[in-house]
Amino acid sequence: MIAILFTSLYMIRSNRRLFAQLAALSEQRSELAQKLIATQESTLRHISRELHDEFGQILTAVGAMLTRAGNHAPEGSALRAELREVCEITQSTLDKVRSLSQALHPVMLEETGLESTLDWYLPVVERQAGVHVFYEKSGESFPVDGNAAIHVYRVVQEALNNLTRHSGAKESWVRLRFLPQALEVEVEDHGRGFDAQAARQGIGLVAMRERAELLGGTVEFLRPEQAADGKSENGRGTLVRLRVPRKKLEA
Ligand SMILES: Nc1ncnc2c1ncn2[C@@H]1O[C@H](COP(=O)(O)OP(=O)(O)OP(=O)(O)O)[C@@H](O)[C@H]1O
Ligand SMILES: [Mg+2]
């Protein structure tokens, strides 16, 4: 009896120690992931600003100089035509630099806010990925701090990336809900669907969870029929739902 008692006590203690170690490791992993996310965001923001400000200004100046030089060249001359061509190339390079800068880190998030950034971003996805987006907004909108907004934006971005890469669906539903106490964003498709517990995890799902945690919120990967207003036929597809408490979003 005494031997059994001692063995049990020993096992309980060593289990407790193991659990404590596991909890500490998990916390360290989460801390590391969140630091990585923060570093990545600040690097992207820096590159995006440099591209927009430095290269944007240089290309604008070059464009203006070329236009002026073109105006000095004789009307109808080959030089004038060539200068106009170079000017057009400069303009299209400028457009590319600007859109790359926006793609890396939308300056809009700080300037005009999350809602208008999504208003701009969703049509871009439609155009680039060829997926139709039904965009629904509800509730009375409230301002979201730029540092928090970037995480919400990245979750939507990754959910839509996954949707275009993995779901096979050609339609998607994005819902932005301003609730009294929270912000809720959903990205839904009626495509292939997957099991978030069993799926081979890339960086995408992990980063979405970490970002939700950074915001004190949650992210869920559901089957559309599990959602309150499930509209998916046969319950196929994926519903990504991010929910963040409002107090974490205010500046
Ligand atoms: N909307 C979706 N429809 C179907 N399968 C999905 C969807 N979203 C995710 N998946 C599945 O979950 C897996 C993990 O997604 P995750 O974003 O973590 O990785 P990934 O997209 O493969 O790579 P990356 O690290 O570039 O994001 C995917 O490989 C895919 O099989
Ligand atoms: Mg992914």
pLDDT in tens, 54-68: 999 999 999 999 999
Between CA 90 and CA 99 the distance in angstroms is 14
Name the residue with tokens 């509800």: 138
Between CA 112 and CA 96 the distance in angstroms is 21
3-class state of residue 53 by DSSP: helix
Residue-level pLDDT at 199: 75
Residue-level pLDDT at 232: 47
Give the pocket of ligand 1 (CB within 6 Å): 162-163, 165-167, 189, 191-194, 199-205, 238
* Alpha carbon nearest to ligand 1 atom 30, residue: 166
Q: What is the largest CA-CA distance in the chain?
A: 108
CA of 180 to the centre of ligand 2 (A): 31
Between CA 220 and CA 143 the distance in angstroms is 24
The structure's pTM equals 0.84
Residue-level pLDDT at 228: 53
CA of 167 to the centre of ligand 2 (A): 11
Atom number in ligand 1 closest to CA 238: 1
Identify the segments of the chain with pLDDT beneath 70. Answer: 226-235
Atom number in ligand 1 closest to CA 162: 8
With CA atoms as reference, report the closest residue to 192 among 221, 224, 156, 166.
166
For the CA atoms of 99, 103, 107, 113, the dihedral, rounded to the nearest 10 degrees, stands at 120
Give the pair of three-digit tokens for residue 156: 């939507």
> What residues contact residue 105 under an 8 Å CB cut-off, 6+ apart?
41, 44, 45, 47, 48, 49, 150
CA of 94 to the centre of ligand 2 (A): 29
Residue-level pLDDT at 169: 95
CA angle at residue 121 from 222 to 150, to 5 degrees?
70
* Candidate of 194, 197, 239 to mutate for ligand 1, largest count of ligand atoms within 8 Å of Cβ: 194
